[in-house]
Amino acid sequence: MRIAVAKGDGIGPEIMDAVLRIFEANKVPLQYEVVEMGKWVFDKGFNNGMTPEAKQNIEQLGLLFKGPMETPKGKGVKSINVTARKTWNTYANKRVFTSLHGVDTVFSKAGIPINISIIRENIEDTYGGIEHMLTQDVALCRRFITRPGTLQVMRYAFDMASKKKVTRISCGHKANIMKITDGMFLECFYEVAKEYPHLKADDIIVDDLCMKLVTRPDLFDVVVLPNLQGDIVSDLCAGLVGGLGFAPSANIGDHISIFEAVHGTAPDIAGKNLANPTALLLSGLAMLRHVGLYENAATIENALRYTLESGVHTGDFGNKNTAAVNTTEFADAIISNFGKTPQQGAVSYSGDNKVYHPAAPISEHPMLESAHRKAEAIVGADLFLESHQQPTAVAALCEKETAGIFKLVTISNRGTQVWPTGSVYTNLVNQYRVRFERQEEKGLEQSDIVALYQRMSQHFKICSVELLNQWGNQKAYSLAQGQ
């Protein structure tokens, strides 16, 4: 079986070479197609950080094992890592955090074992990177949460929890505040939960989740979260098991999957042969299991655990009174421990290795769309406009332009209502959201909104427009705070 390998930047080549050496010593039956991807490729003029041959190879092989890659600093340059995850629709980011005997933490010392899998939605949310300056003072980031995208990650999370035979799966969210976006994320969680009645499915607000994770991490099995919250919570979990050096990650998609460590290129120690390769090795072991190479994965993981248990450590962890080994020596120690069984956390594999079949190639973009659609109507519009006038003055100009079709319903500033009611103590910035709704029950056309835009543009610079939709009897927009 051939897989694509991108060694990455900074410590990437050092830790990748160490891991591939461990794989070769264990006769892992994989062949590696080394592809050109990373900051150095970006510097050669390929603005998505990979050569066309690399893209073609990865799409053909369906599996990418990658080292960390540096995001070039400066405006207008997107992260190569995020681009890869999004372009190839690796919708579920699985990060498994397990206590490793020999890696001392507050919890290991207290005898509290940790085994948490974070499933982070990997494509959507503010990671869309769709940002605009609405005025010179006001920046806006659009946050996409989609129903089909969320269902993909929920199905993966429940399926994984079921196969892992865990009892509890939790959804972390902020649906108490972001009722439409996180609300839909949560709704999809419970929708898929109905297909897995043997799992205890519950939800928890993300701030409460953070508090509980640092007090009773042993209470959680699988936690599924939107992209940004998942990113933050997974670094918190990395801290629980000893730091970024022990945090692996698998980006799972239907056609292409990417396996990489959570950490970055560690420029401070790059080129010194000091880096800890454990996180990349654990990511590689997840890849071996993904393709059905359970026996190799178990032997290598047991050797890793035995090595850690015996006190061998790189400089970033372990007993400061014993000398640290370098990256090469750490890999050598693991290789010398093949066949040994750790005292704690030994892994076993049952039965035969499974035969992995890559997904068949596709020639068109899959269109993800919900099957059941309700009747749709446009019932108004929010206009985001620039003004440094007081709300009553803005309202007076807006009301002049409603022309019988629209009524002015509310004006808000940074999401807080300031007209028709509000408080003078609400500070203002020079950008209002002005909401117009239809006067009568009859539907509006897009052309009515365009005409409103034109009339309003005589008085204001309009930075953005958002339609107010209704699906069936349900409003498809949020109310302003205080409305």
Footprint of ligand NAD (CB under 6 A): 11, 68-71, 81, 244-245, 260, 263-269, 275-276, 279, 316
Find the shortest distance in angstroms from Cβ 325 to ligand NAD: 12
Query: From the CB of 161, what's the least distance to ligand NAD, in Å?
Result: 25
Closest residue to ligand NAD, Cβ-based?
264
Smallest gap, in angstroms, from Cβ of residue 343 to ligand NAD?
25
- In the complex, the smallest distance separating the C-beta of residue 472 from ligand NAD, rounded to whole angstroms, is 42
Q: Which residue, 54 or 275, is less far from ligand NAD as judged by CB?
A: 275
- The residue behind tokens 């090469």 is 328
How far is it, in rounded angstroms, from Cα 108 to Cα 344? 12
Smallest separation (angstroms) from ligand NAD to the CB of 229: 17
Nearer to ligand NAD, 264 or 358 (CB): 264
Contacts of 480 (CB under 8 A, 6+ apart): 410, 412, 415, 416, 417, 433, 435
Least distance between ligand NAD and beta carbon 250 (Å): 12
Tell me whether residue 74 or residue 404 sits nearer to ligand NAD (CB atom).
74
235/386 with CB nearer ligand NAD: 235
Q: Which lies closer to ligand NAD via its Cβ, residue 154 or residue 270?
A: 270
In the bound complex, what is the minimum distance in angstroms from residue 159's beta carbon to ligand NAD? 25
In the complex with ligand NAD, the residue whose CB is nearer, 34 or 133, is 34
Distance CA 316, CA 324 (A): 9
Compare residues 64 and 408 and give the one whose CB is closer to ligand NAD: 64
Residue 124 or 260 with smaller CB distance to ligand NAD: 260
- Minimum CB separation from ligand NAD for residue 145, in Å? 23
**Nearer CB in complex with ligand NAD: 3/193:** 3
CB 381 within 8 A of CB 466: yes
CB of 317 to ligand NAD, least distance (A): 8
Smallest gap, in angstroms, from Cβ of residue 238 to ligand NAD? 10
Q: Nearer to ligand NAD by C-beta: 10 or 391?
A: 10
Q: Is the dihedral of CA 61, 35, 291, 168 positive or negative?
A: negative
